[in-house]
Amino acid sequence: MKNKIFVLFLMLFVIFAFTSCMSMGADYDNGAPMYPNGNYNTEDYTEIIENGFIKTESAPSSYFSIDANTASYPNLRSLIKGGYSNIPKDAVRVEEMLNYFNYDYQTPTDSSVLSLTSSVFDTPFNSDTKLMTIGLAAQEVEFSGVRNNLVFLIDVSGSMYSEDKLPLVQQAFMMLAENLNPEDRVSIVTYASGDSVPLAGAFGYEKQKIMAAVEDLTAGGSTAGSKGIRKAYALAEEYFIEGGNNRVILATDGDFNVGTVTTSGLEALISQKRESGIYLSVFGFGRGNLQSEKMETLALKGNGVYSYIDSVNEAKRALVEGVGGTMITVAKDVKAGITFNPKYIESYRLIGYENKLLTEEEFNDSNTDAGELGSGHTVTVVYEIKLTDKALAAGEKLADVIVKYKPTENVGGDATSEQEITLTVATDAYHAEMTDTDAFVASVIEFALILRDSEYKVDSDLNALITRLSDLDLSGDEFKMEFRELVIAYSEKTENSEVE
């Protein structure tokens, strides 16, 4: 009897200890957020080691690949709205937060596909530095006559069962179906334990047929991701449209656990297929299995973008509107090189783009695989700079900017011949008073530094940030207004957590 009581007591102790650990880890598991109910998940984010300050005298030039991925911001929005006060720092990618929003950068006025603008102003959260922004705008082209050949590659594995996954995917693709042109072609490939083709080559005018196929999808089984990708490319090739937007659109929570599962294996597969003129865009859904490095790699190697969808509104913005605009690639292999003038700039650091850095040799090699930009895309690059003791003489040079890219067939190019645009950032670019664009860009950066608890946040402060955002007139941009509300919500959540 005593032995039985001892065993029972030991079992209760183990159960108590286990549940206590679960409770203590309710927000994290190895750095990844957990569901509010404490269930484990396998979310994984690419490790970010923030760029530090570099002495201009020793290394005056900085090189990196440019893309317009936006996944980090809606993912963070989902976490904050979901009640998470402790955000995994590697989920915070500053460049993807900045590039989520549109800015009124000057668009190309000549035959160029891209244009450049710059601004230099005082850093609101660090009195010892300035912020130098470089705004890149892609030509916005009218594509009403371009036909789409789309393959919806949809993860229907068991992990996609929850409301923020497959049901949201279905809503997103049904909205997209409603906006198709009559001559567009649509196929659907699903994958779980195996792959299936519920729809092959339907025309855009067959909306009921397309929506019925989407509505009938159910979740269950493991995740044979590589099988589905191969099948999707085969269908895209079968219904290929010359001069059209031929694209596989992958919707997944990020879990690839059967088949070609390594990032390198998937990368090789996608790299091989993109040469046919079929691009791949990746859309992440839901919590629990998000694999940011793997999904970003797929999009990069597929000449597409990686986005995260956390709501019907985001689905409309990123997916429905994207197919008619930003998913139409106008520039391939876009990369930037900035050379600073040591006379005025003592040191600099690139904010974000940590996993997109290039060597000088890679920048000058026209075969280097870099990012893609779509019609109307805007990209924001920001450097934090420390000035020398010399006064800023009018008209002097602070930096030279070179952006190299290959214009696609959509804008009269051949996607193989490299072109470049240049910009000299002069001392005249500095202004003591921030513009509204400056203030918003600085606010996004400051919020990111706070979320990361960055060593570079210096005097960053949520209250000061909210005050600055409140002084801006954001009424014409619902997404920027939402950002302000998100910062306020995070501030309130953080205050409540500290009180508790």
Confidence of residue 35 (pLDDT cuts 50, 70, 90): very low
Domain boundary at 429, 459, 491, which?
429
Q: At 172, which CATH number?
A: 3.40.50.410
More confident call, 426 vs 82:
426
Q: Where are the alpha helices (DSSP H) in 328-476?
A: 360-364, 436-452, 462-470
* Confidence at residue 496, expressed as pLDDT on a 0 to 100 scale: 67
Of 1-15, 234-248, 336-350, 432-446, the least confident:
1-15
* Confidence at residue 320, expressed as pLDDT on a 0 to 100 scale: 84
* Confidence at residue 297, expressed as pLDDT on a 0 to 100 scale: 81
More confident call, 68 vs 473:
473
Three-class SS state of 415: coil
51 pLDDT exceeds 70? yes
Non-local (6+) Cβ contacts of 480 within 8 A are 101, 440, 472, 474
In a domain, 371, yes or no: yes
Quickly count: other Cβ atoms within 10 Å of residue 224's Cβ. Answer: 23
Same domain for 313 and 385? no
In a domain, 242, yes or no: yes
* Confidence at residue 145, expressed as pLDDT on a 0 to 100 scale: 67
Same domain for 262 and 315? yes
* Confidence at residue 272, expressed as pLDDT on a 0 to 100 scale: 81
Confidence of residue 324 (pLDDT cuts 50, 70, 90): low
118 pLDDT exceeds 70? yes
Mean pLDDT of 123-151: 89
**Residue 380, φ and ψ in degrees, nearest 5:** -120, 125
Same domain for 240 and 389? no
Same domain for 310 and 193? yes
Same domain for 386 and 305? no
Same domain for 287 and 370? no
Instruction: Give the dihedral of Cα atoms 200, 202, 206, 207; nearest 10 deg.
Output: 60
Domain boundary at 429, 453, 486, which?
429
Q: Which domain holds residue 107?
A: 54-141+329-429
Non-local (6+) Cβ contacts of 151 within 8 A are 186, 187, 188, 189, 232, 233, 235, 236, 247, 248, 249
* Confidence at residue 229, expressed as pLDDT on a 0 to 100 scale: 84
* Confidence at residue 168, expressed as pLDDT on a 0 to 100 scale: 93
* Confidence at residue 127, expressed as pLDDT on a 0 to 100 scale: 96
- The 10s digit of each residue's pLDDT in 249-274 is 999 887 665 455 566 777 777 888 88
* Confidence at residue 2, expressed as pLDDT on a 0 to 100 scale: 52
In a domain, 34, yes or no: no
* Confidence at residue 225, expressed as pLDDT on a 0 to 100 scale: 64
Q: Global pTM?
A: 0.86
Same domain for 199 and 246? yes
Q: At 126, which CATH number?
A: 2.60.40.1230
Residues of the chain with pLDDT > 90, as a percent, come to: 55
Same domain for 63 and 194? no
Question: For the chain, how many structural domains are there in total?
Answer: 2
* Confidence at residue 269, expressed as pLDDT on a 0 to 100 scale: 75
When the pLDDT of each residue in the chain is averaged and rounded to a whole number, the result is 85
Confidence of residue 363 (pLDDT cuts 50, 70, 90): very high
Same domain for 227 and 335? no
Give the orientation angle of helix 436-452 with respect to helix 478-499, to 10 degrees. 30
Mean pLDDT of 10-32: 40
In a domain, 230, yes or no: yes
Confidence of residue 12 (pLDDT cuts 50, 70, 90): very low
Question: In angstroms, rounded to a whole number, what is the distance separating the alpha carbons of residues 424 and 56?
Answer: 17
Handedness of CA 240, 243, 244, 247 (dihedral sign): positive
Q: Phi/psi class of residue 30: alpha, beta or left (left: φ > 0; alpha: ψ in -120 to 50)?
A: left
- The 10s digit of each residue's pLDDT in 212-233 is 999 999 888 776 667 788 889 9
* Confidence at residue 39, expressed as pLDDT on a 0 to 100 scale: 45
- The 10s digit of each residue's pLDDT in 393-432 is 989 999 999 999 999 888 888 888 999 999 999 999 999 8
Give the orientation angle of helix 436-452 with respect to helix 462-470, to 10 degrees. 160
In a domain, 208, yes or no: yes
Burial 447-467 (b: 16+ CB within 10 A, else e): bbbbbbebebbbebebeebbe
453 pLDDT exceeds 50? yes
In a domain, 488, yes or no: no
Same domain for 215 and 293? yes
Domain boundary at 409, 429, 449, which?
429
Confidence of residue 10 (pLDDT cuts 50, 70, 90): very low
In a domain, 454, yes or no: no
76 pLDDT exceeds 70? yes
Confidence of residue 171 (pLDDT cuts 50, 70, 90): very high
Q: Side chain identity at 121, as an amino acid letter? A: F
Same domain for 253 and 155? yes
Confidence of residue 21 (pLDDT cuts 50, 70, 90): very low
Same domain for 315 and 173? yes
In a domain, 36, yes or no: no
Helix (H) or strand (E) holding 19: helix 2-24
14 pLDDT exceeds 70? no
Non-local (6+) Cβ contacts of 272 within 8 A are none
Q: Please calculate the CA angle 238-210-323 and round it to the nearest 5 degrees.
A: 70
* Confidence at residue 216, expressed as pLDDT on a 0 to 100 scale: 93
Helix (H) or strand (E) holding 413: none
Mean pLDDT of 459-481: 94
Confidence of residue 344 (pLDDT cuts 50, 70, 90): very high
